[in-house]
């Protein structure tokens, strides 16, 4: 009697291996998508926190804001605030800007988020944090920033008073 596997046994074994590999690959893709959404939401929240912190501390470039010889308090205009602007490009991106009156003295330039995510907001595409803890320029009580990809959503809220909620 010959020992070995029949053709049917080999095909069944290959079929089982293919199914297991397919399930594993699907789970891996889903996990990567989840990580991209979470990473993008955290990146955006950090941008808003940075702008809020810069505004509250009153940080500005006095020279760019009109100070004589770049010395603060010698003819420079007041700090208007720090703005985060969201761009709905592919991939979505954002910029952080420091503003004195009509002069932009700092611009992070567009910073891209992960491919495959989308960003939606309620209440506009930018937020200006006003100095000395005076809140934001939001027209309503709050703005929700939502980062998503197929099947996963992470969001956080920015209140008119400048408070930034946790990512949910």
Check the CA dihedral 146-149-153-156 and report its sign: negative
Buried b (16+ CB within 10 A) or exposed e, 90-104: eebbbbbbbbbeeee
**Of 1-5, 19-23, 50-54, which range is least confident?**
19-23
Which tokens in the block code for residue 155? Answer: 């969001």
pLDDT of 24: 59
* 121-150 tens-digit pLDDT: 997 899 999 998 789 999 989 999 999 988
In 12-165, at which residue ranges do the beta strands (DSSP E only) sit?
Answer: 79-87, 93-100, 103-107, 111-112, 118-122, 126-129, 142-149, 152-159
Other CB atoms closer than 10 Å to residue 113's CB: what's the count? 23
Does the pLDDT at position 97 exceed 90? yes
Model pLDDT for residues 25-46, shown as the tens digit of each residue: 565 565 677 888 999 999 999 9
- Name the band, by pLDDT with cuts 50, 70 and 90, for residue 21: low
Q: What is the pTM of this model?
A: 0.80
Q: Please tell me which residue, 35 or 12, carries the higher pLDDT value.
A: 35
- Whether residue 22 is predicted with pLDDT greater than 70 in this model: the reply is no
Model confidence at 57: pLDDT above 90: yes
Identify the residue with better confidence: 134 or 11. 134
């Amino acid at each position: 009697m010959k020992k070995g596997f029949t053709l049917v046994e080999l095909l069944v074994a290959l079929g089982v291996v293919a199914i297991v590999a397919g399930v594993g690959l699907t789970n891996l893709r889903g996990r990567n998508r989840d990580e991209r959404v979470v990473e993008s939401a955290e990146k955006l929240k950090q941008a808003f926190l940075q702008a809020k912190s810069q505004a509250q501390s009153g940080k500005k470039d006095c020279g760019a804001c009109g100070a004589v010889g770049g010395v603060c308090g010698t003819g420079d205009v007041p700090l208007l605030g720090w703005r985060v602007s969201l761009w709905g490009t592919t991939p979505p991106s954002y910029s952080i800007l420091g503003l004195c009156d009509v002069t932009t003295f700092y611009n992070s330039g567009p910073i891209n988020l992960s491919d495959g995510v989308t960003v939606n907001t309620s209440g506009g595409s930018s937020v200006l944090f006003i100095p000395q803890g005076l809140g934001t320029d939001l027209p309503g009580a709050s703005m929700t920033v939502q980062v998503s990809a197929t099947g996963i959503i992470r969001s956080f809220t920015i209140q008119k008073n400048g408070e930034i909620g946790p990512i949910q």
